[in-house]
Chain A
Amino acid sequence: MKKTREGFGRALAELGKTNPDVVVLVGDLTDSTMVSFFAKEFPDRFVEMGVAEQNMMTAAAGLSLVGKIPFLATYGAFATCRCADQIRVTVCYSDLNVKIGGAHGGISVGPDGATHQALEEFAMMRVLPNMKVIVPCDFEETRKATLAAAAVWGPVYLRFGREDVPVVTGAATPFEIGKGILLRDGDDVAIVACGVMVHEALQAAEALAARDIQARVINIHTIKPIDRNLLIQAAEDCGAVVTAEEHQIHGGLGSAVAEVLVRHCPVPMEFVAVEDRFGQSGKPAELMAAFGLTADHIVTATEKVLARKVARVY
């Protein structure tokens, strides 16, 4: 178990050593977003921007214009919703090299409640031209995603969480922006997940296997650009798809997958996501259960989609 946000913080400290252009901006959340590792080692390239996210976003744009690779860190809710206009007009329309670190993504933020539980960023960010959206599943993948974000040109939104979560990938697991990862093979149903839901998907696949249902599990860490080929292949092979994400049901991973499949290989789909409502305070695990974001919920969704698959006449 390890925090994804620590993967972000550790990667930035690594980048500090290897890339002199990397600069980190923070909005009064140095320890919480774990950019403190970078701040300690590279104080000259660390900018405290105070509680002023809009200015931080646009200042990052200015830094990119003089050749810096700015990473900014705040909570995902503020990075996206509060700065939407700055991201749209200044960062994306100008295609600037700004990397947005959105911490505290999802309902698993826990006791802080709805204001701090970002559940809208996938939708808000992926609709913007030039933006890349990455939702890594664990510490290791967040680390790799952060390094990859520095190496690619253009705006990138990185979403990571607050809590300790299981480490699903290893140091040797490949990571390439836009390239999904097949974690488990199977031909009965494809479970497509991102973020912490990847681990839940693997648990669900295990439970389904005990009932002789072979689920393919795919980690779509990059929601945009999405790995169309991997998704189309999964739909063709399995004939049914379940998506799972710690995000609102509208406009997120499920929508992105559906946009691909409805055009290229329409199959029955089910969505495991937050059903169009705001979060609330509680313990992370309690909230994941209360908002329908567990392996059990993926199993239930799978049963529903399989029923529709059987009913379908090919």
Chain B
Amino acid sequence: MFLLPTEEAHTMTDTTERKNPYRLPVDQLKAKSLELRRDIITMLVEAKSGHTGGPMGFADIAATLFFHELVYDPKNPKWPGRDMWFYSMGHMTPIHYSALAEAGYFPLKDLMKFRKLDGHLQGHPSSLDTPGVEVSSGSLGQGLSIAFGAAYGSRMDGHPRRVYALLSDGEHEEGSTWEAAMAAGHYQMDNLCAIVDYNNIQIDGHVEDIMGLAPLGDKYRAFRWNVIEIDGHDIAAILGALDQARRCKGRPTVVLARTVMGHPVSFMSDQFEWHGKPPKPEEGDKALAELGTTYAEWSGRLLNN
């Protein structure tokens, strides 16, 4: 699938019916995050390549965003009234794509072509290939700047859009992240919300061992941000933080979401080896058993939808 970039003028006045198409309650969001995790394991087993741990740990936040919070129309990805979200951490494609597919942007069976030549799901997201991907990413430290720009332009137009930057903790080692943080604080971008997947893991080990990041909240406060710290697996807390962010005026908000990489699969949890590798079939079977399904059942669900 090849999407031409949108060349038509954006009519920002069309803001009718600005709401999430699902608005699922907490218990159903929990069920949805379980489905997303099953998708992630299944598509990675099939792809034989890709990132497992981060996407698993981010599933509760992604479920909450896509099935309660974000304003979008999956049948009209460029709908001018939409919210915008940017996966600065491009390698999170397994959760990015599974949420897009479950939300209705493209068929679930496309997930089984992840990272394959005849599919449209690149290893790292490509906006010209995949509907629902606003911008290509994969080189870290750029998403907060993009989100800042989109938020700035939306505010110029008086557009009610909210803009979400989805960041990893490790990419705060990139200086450009801090350039963006400084600009967003300076320009008081209260339509901008950053969510940090704070699992304290990067490729080479624990973030604090690789490059000390703490106290991250204090750093953002010093950059004139509103800071909210939550358990990134507590859906009610995620909803509360997003609501609090929306009500905060005059400052951008960062949600520092404490997550466990690989959660809740026992042998993946908090294991940095699971950052960048896919499960082998037998590991996938074990993980899917812990998630209450089997590869046959779940790949069948994906392929038939």
Q: Chain A interface (Cβ within 8 Å of chain B)?
A: 21, 23, 44-45, 47, 49-50, 52, 54-55, 57-68, 70, 85-86, 88-90, 93-97, 153-154
Contacts and interface: CB of A to CB of B under 8 A. Distances in A.
A63 B152 contact: yes
A55 B180 contact: yes
B15 to A, nearest CB: 13
B128 A62 contact: no
Contact of A65 (B9, B142, B150, B159): B150
Contact of A55 (B5, B80, B183): B183
Nearest to A153: B7
Contact of B183 (A44, A59, A90, A154): A59
Given A55-B176, A61-B149, A89-B137, A66 B182 contact: no
Contact of A60 (B5, B138, B149): B149
B135 interface: yes
B136 A94 contact: yes
Most buried by A among B137, B142, B146, B179: B146
Interface string B131-173: 0001111110010011111111110110101000000000000
B180 A58 contact: yes
B150 A63 contact: yes
Interface residues of B, number: 38
Contacts of A90: 135-137, 142, 146
Interface of B: 5, 7, 9-10, 12, 80, 84, 126-128, 134-139, 142, 145-154, 156-157, 159, 161, 175-176, 179-180, 182-183, 186
A62 B150 contact: yes
B176 A59 contact: no
Contact of B156 (A45, A49, A65): A45
B157 A62 contact: no
Nearest to A61: B146
B162 to A, nearest CB: 12
A89 B5 contact: no
Most buried by A among B152, B153, B154, B159: B153
Contacts of B126: 93-94
B145 A59 contact: yes
Given A66-B10, A89-B136, A47 B152 contact: yes
B145 A55 contact: yes
A66 B183 contact: no
Given A89-B138, A90-B137, 10 more contacts: A52-B182, A52-B183, A54-B179, A57-B145, A62-B148, A66-B154, A68-B156, A94-B136, A95-B128, A96-B135
A38 to B, nearest CB: 15
Contacts of B127: 93-94
A62 B145 contact: yes
A89 B142 contact: yes
A228 B79 CA distance: 39
A97 B149 CA distance: 13
A95 B80 CA distance: 19
Contacts of A44: 156
29 contacts: A21-B9, A47-B152, A50-B183, A52-B179, A55-B145, A55-B176, A57-B145, A58-B146, A58-B149, A59-B145, A59-B152, A59-B180, A60-B149, A62-B147, A62-B148, A62-B149, A66-B150, A66-B161, A67-B80, A86-B142, A86-B176, A88-B139, A89-B142, A90-B142, A94-B135, A95-B128, A96-B5, A97-B5, A153-B7
